[in-house]
Amino acid sequence: MKKPILAIFAVVFISAAVPGLFAQNSQRRIEIHARRFEFTPAEITVKKGETVTLSLISEDVSHSLLIEGLGVNQTIVKGHATQVTFTPDKAGDFPGRCGRFCGNGHGSMRFLVHVTE
């Protein structure tokens, strides 16, 4: 009976001592709000190889989040929380924008993803 308990203690101890060791596949989730004419937050920083899920919420009209360098092109309809997942495979800055005309300030609806090594 003692060995399984020791094994559990060992796993708990190692997990605590080495943060992230058992979290390799856990997805990071970031909530992004869209409204005329901004994304909030307008910038995020993620790690290369890290799988990130953006939870997109519109507060007014339909928008979209278009990040060409990351293959993201997701319509955001008011009243429907939408998710988009990506895993950047290179470091750098990836500009995004609203890809759906939403009014006079549409062109200033910018987004930026910093991908670090």
Residues near Cu ion (CB under 5 A): 98, 102, 106, 109
User: Given the complex with Cu ion, which of 102 and 113 has the nearer CB atom?
Assistant: 102
Question: Look-up: residue for tokens 């910093």?
Answer: 114
Residues 52/31, Cβ–Cβ less than 8 Å: no
- Closest C-alpha to 75, from 84, 65, 86, 85: 65
Least Cβ distance, residue 81 to Cu ion (angstroms) = 18
Q: Looking at beta carbons only, is 57 or 102 nearer to Cu ion? A: 102
Q: How far is CA 75 from the centre of its chain?
A: 15
Minimum Å distance from CB 83 to Cu ion?
A: 19
Q: CB 100 → Cu ion: shortest distance, Å?
A: 5
Backbone angles phi, psi at 45, to 5 degrees: -120, 125
